[in-house]
Structure 1
Amino acid sequence: MTSIPLEELANHKGEVLGESPWMNVSQEMIQAFADATGDHQWIHVDVERAKKEAPWGAPVAHGFLTMSLMPQLSQQAFQITGPVASINYGMNKLRLPSAVKSGSDIRSVIELVDVQDVDEKRVLATYKTVIEIKGEEKPAIVAENLAMYVKP
């Protein structure tokens, strides 16, 4: 895993900072997310029906489940050292070009797009995060996400 000091982050604009290991998105994970959110649409939780009727031939993960895995995957891809806090500041752009079938493996590939000093205590970083699906041509997610780093 790549480790970058916050004061050197701007030197890495335009670079891929890292990629996470592959993570399996199991049907159990999909079911737990459905239970936590109340989204029990059949394309996610009815395995037999999804195999027969869904366009993917299998149940698929919720888009919000895949999005919610971005922080975990990112933390396994690279680390910024030095800030006292790292805050999810939101997204400028988010697309979900392909569904994640139950049992698929996903990983994140993260590129640093920009770094800006907000003030003497805060730095705003813009990342391009692509969530790839093993064996699939299209990614699950392409996002421009923001992280606010708070200096000591």
Structure 2
Amino acid sequence: MIVINSFSEFEEQIGKELGVSSWHTITQEQINKFADATLDHQWIHTDTERVKTESPFKTTIAHGYLTLSLIPYLWKEIVEIRNLKMEINYGIENLRFAQPALVDSRVRLKVKLAGLLNLRGVIKATMAIELEIEDQKKPAFTGEVVFLYHFTS
């Protein structure tokens, strides 16, 4: 894990891979809870019997937005940013879903610091991200996430 205490320490990481998270298994329970939270109960996610005969995957798949929602959790395994007043999710850019994550897939986040701007004391950090699926050539998604960091000094 990388620890960043200031803008200048963050700057040293521009263009570098920051790291890779541990593997996270996407369970049917997690998919069902996400379906309940988002009111998206499409059968390809939740109907474990129907998918066996009607889905090309023959099993349920995680919602694309569920995989996206893992970013903050997995990001915290890669980098610890200290001396913050506040951290804000600012945006997602150039997002592409490459393939679905099947139930019981293991996924992990790979992050590179693509850019960093100091906007009068607020740091805009752009991270190139990829959610890898274990034993798959294509990731679940690629894109860029943008965070705003307000350091204490």
The TM tier, using the shorter chain, reads over 0.9
Q: Deviations over 1:9-51 (max 9, x none)?
A: 1111111111111001000100111111111111000111112
Report the counterpart of residue 88 of structure 1 in structure 2. Answer: 89
Contact map agreement 1:19 1:78 (CA 8 A) in 2? no
Letter in 1 for 2:39: G
Cα distance between partner residues in 1 of 2:147 and 2:31: 27
Cα distance between partner residues in 1 of 2:14 and 2:37: 37
Letter in 1 for 2:149: Y
Deviation at 1:6, TM superposition (A): 2.5
Cα distance between partner residues in 2 of 1:24 and 1:51: 21
How many residue pairs get aligned? The number is: 151
Contact map agreement 1:44 1:60 (CA 8 A) in 2? yes
Report the counterpart of residue 151 of structure 1 in structure 2. Answer: 151
Report the counterpart of residue 79 of structure 2 in structure 1. Answer: 78
Cα distance between partner residues in 1 of 2:26 and 2:125: 28
Cα distance between partner residues in 2 of 1:145 and 1:128: 7
Report the counterpart of residue 133 of structure 1 in structure 2. Answer: 133
> Considering only aligned residues, what root-mean-square deviation do their CA atoms show, in Å?
1.0
How does 1:6-17 map onto structure 2 within 5 Å? 6-7=6-7, 8-17=9-18
Cα distance between partner residues in 1 of 2:33 and 2:6: 36
Letter in 1 for 2:72: P
Normalising by structure 1, what TM-score?
A: 0.95
Letter in 2 for 1:118: L
Q: Deviations over 1:92-124 (max 9, x none)?
A: 2211101010011111010000100011x2010
How does 1:29-40 map onto structure 2 within 5 Å? 29-40=30-41
Cα distance between partner residues in 1 of 2:68 and 2:36: 17
Letter in 2 for 1:50: V
Cα distance between partner residues in 2 of 1:6 and 1:50: 49
Normalising by structure 2, what TM-score?
A: 0.95
Cα distance between partner residues in 1 of 2:4 and 2:56: 42
